[in-house]
Amino acid sequence: EADIYQTPRYLVIGTGKKITLECSQTMGHDKMYWYQQDPGMELHLIHYSYGVNSTEKGDLSSESTVSRIRTEHFPLTLESARPSHTSQYLCASSASRGYGYTFGSGTRLTVV
């Protein structure tokens, strides 16, 4: 079944640790996105990609980085996690020209 997968679902880590949040989709979508969301709150676009080797910063400044080496994979990395990074991170994907926008279930990150 075509879908978008995020791992881990929950993560608690210590300050200063490096982490990578994984996102993979099996729909063959060219575009992928990362959003940051506090519980039940506004969606903030932090990174997006139009395709392989394409990455762009979103509306919200973020200390994270992304890469897009394969169409289906769009990982997000925090080099040194801080408590201010505590949030939910949602990955999404869409076709190049189209309105179909599919979200993953998110990674709930807590930095202690």
Partner 1 sequence: QQQVKQSPQSLIVQKGGISIINCAYENTAFDYFPWYQQFPGKGPALLIAIRPDVSEKKEGRFTISFNKSAKQFSLHIMDSQPGDSATYFCAAFSSGGSYIPTFGRGTSLIVHP
Please identify which residue in 48, 76, 87, 111 interacts with partner 1, judged by CB under 8 A: 48
Stretch that binds partner 1, among 11-19, 41-49, 63-71, 77-85 (CB under 8 A): 41-49
31 sits near partner 1 (criterion: CB under 8 A): yes
What binding mask, one character per residue, do residues 68-107 give for partner 1 by CB under 8 A, x or -? ----------------------x-x-x-xxxxxx-xxxx-
39 sits near partner 1 (criterion: CB under 8 A): yes
What is the SS3 assignment for 42? coil
Residue 32 CB contacts under 8 Å (≥ 6 apart), including other chains: 23, 25, 48, 49, 68, 74, 91, 92, 93
Residue 1 or 14: the one with the smaller Cβ distance to partner 1 is 1
Residue 5 neighbours by CB distance under 10 Å? 13
CA–CA distance, 94 with 8 (Å, rounded to integer): 22
109 sits near partner 1 (criterion: CB under 8 A): no
User: Cα dist. 30→14, 16, 35, 80 in Å?
Assistant: 34, 33, 17, 29
What residues make contact with partner 1 under the rule CB under 8 A? 31, 33, 39-43, 45, 48, 90, 92, 94, 96-101, 103-106, 108
